[in-house]
């Protein structure tokens, strides 16, 4: 399959890219790793008249920990660079653990975190992970900059709050306080496939070992990445025992809205969610204790 004809621009600065987007509006799309956009163009599901290729903008390709522990990742940072970063594995292990489940190594070599989040596939791992980690996204247009909480960024399948003149420029992940344990588990038909259900958990224990904070986010569990707020709240104050995790799993299943797919009915997805939430919480609880 071949894409419809398009104009290609390869700006070298963020400002030039944003000016091109402002000029061409809806007719233009940013090209990041191309792992979702190019197949869509080849199938002619997407037919942008103009591609603004972000690959030459070095200011979008960076990863660093700030003095306060916040992890800042440029939108064009490839999955592979994040997955292989030793400091990320140590200080934000949930990211590294979940990235290993995203597609195949070849796709992770090209695909970018910014492209993934902007694509907003509800089956995708990273959006759920960003919700669990309470990340913020730096969104830029030619005339303004704003910070958007991951929780409000996704508005529907393949839809975000990004305006037609806006770019996702940076991802900010706050540090994990001491006593925190994280875990990500998913079930997919084959390794590298999109998950039929995926669960990200962040748990924090206080000095007495009881849970003082909990976040639980799921992918493939609704039209957007889903936060299981009641389930997480129910864990606070508990000892994170097997019974506590099982009770949270029951609550989480009521909070999700799985849409089903060719691989899994909504009923089967709910079953997977119940099992996975329990298991993911158990792993995170053990890690928080360690
Ligand atoms: C076989 C296969 C299996 C896959 N399996 C998985 C999987 O298991 N899990 C998973 O999460 N993904 C999976 N993917 C998708 C992959 O992760 C994509 O790379 C990712 O979703 C898009 O990232 P990208 O950098 O390639 O973006 P692109 O494809 O270049 O762009 C995606 C969309 O985002 C827009 N965009 C890109 N960057 C920006 C920006 N900075 N600001 C605003 N808009 C922007 C583009 O205009 C486009 O609309 C799979 C893909 C393939 C081909």
The tens digit of pLDDT for each residue in 215-238 reads 999 999 999 999 999 999 999 999
DSSP type of residue 133: T
Reference 15, options 172, 170, 140; nearest CA is 140
Position 192 confidence tier, pLDDT thresholds 50, 70, 90: confident
Give residue limits of the domains in the chain: 7-53, 58-173, 180-289
At 290 the pLDDT is: 78
**CATH for 7-53?**
3.30.43.10
The whole-angstrom distance between residue 252's C-alpha and the CA centroid of its chain comes to 19
Question: Which ligand 1 atom is the nearest neighbour of the CA of 37?
Answer: 29
Tell which one of 32, 185, 188 to mutate to probe ligand 1, the residue whose CB is within 8 A of the most ligand atoms: 32
Integer Cα distance of 166 and 161 in angstroms: 9
Integer Cα distance of 64 and 106 in angstroms: 24
Topology of domain 58-173 in CATH is 3.30.465
Average pLDDT over residues 34-52: 96
Tell me the C-alpha to C-alpha distance, in Å, between residue 153 and each of 139, 180, 242, 289. 10, 25, 33, 32
As for ligand 1, residues whose beta carbon falls within 6 Å of it are: 29-37, 39, 75, 102-103, 107, 111-112, 114-116, 118-119, 121, 124-126, 162, 167-168, 194
**CATH for 180-289?**
3.30.390.50
Q: And the tokens for 228?
A: 């299981």
């Amino acid at each position: 399959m071949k894409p419809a004809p398009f104009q290609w621009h390869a700006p070298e600065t963020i400002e030039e890219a944003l000016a091109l987007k402002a000029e061409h509006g809806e007719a233009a799309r940013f090209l990041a790793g191309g792992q979702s956009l190019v197949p869509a163009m080849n199938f002619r599901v997407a037919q942008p008249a103009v591609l603004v290729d972000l690959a030459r903008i070095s200011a979008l390709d960076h990863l660093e920990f700030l003095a306060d522990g916040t992890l800042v990742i440029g939108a064009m940072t490839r999955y592979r660079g994040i997955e292989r970063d030793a400091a990320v594995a140590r200080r934000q292990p949930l990211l590294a653990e979940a990235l290993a489940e995203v597609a195949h190594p070849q796709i992770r070599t090209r695909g970018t975190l910014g492209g993934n989040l902007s694509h907003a596939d509800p089956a995708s791992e990273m959006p759920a992970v960003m919700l669990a980690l309470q990340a913020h996204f730096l969104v830029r247009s030619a005339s303004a900059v704003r910070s958007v909480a991951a929780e409000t960024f996704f508005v529907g399948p393949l839809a975000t709050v990004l305006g037609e003149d806006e770019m996702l420029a940076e991802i900010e992940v706050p540090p994990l306080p001491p006593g925190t344990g994280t875990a990500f588990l998913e079930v997919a038909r084959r390794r590298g496939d999109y998950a039929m259900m995926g669960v990200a958990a962040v748990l924090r224990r206080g000095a007495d070992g009881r849970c003082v904070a909990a976040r639980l986010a799921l992918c493939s569990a609704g039209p957007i990445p889903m936060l299981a707020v009641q389930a997480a709240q129910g864990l606070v104050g508990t000892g994170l025992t097997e019974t506590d995790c099982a009770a949270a799993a029951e609550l989480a299943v009521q909070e999700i809205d799985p849409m089903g797919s060719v691989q899994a009915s909504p009923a089967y997805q709910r079953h997977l969610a119940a099992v996975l939430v329990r298991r993911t919480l158990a792993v995170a609880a053990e890690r928080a204790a360690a």
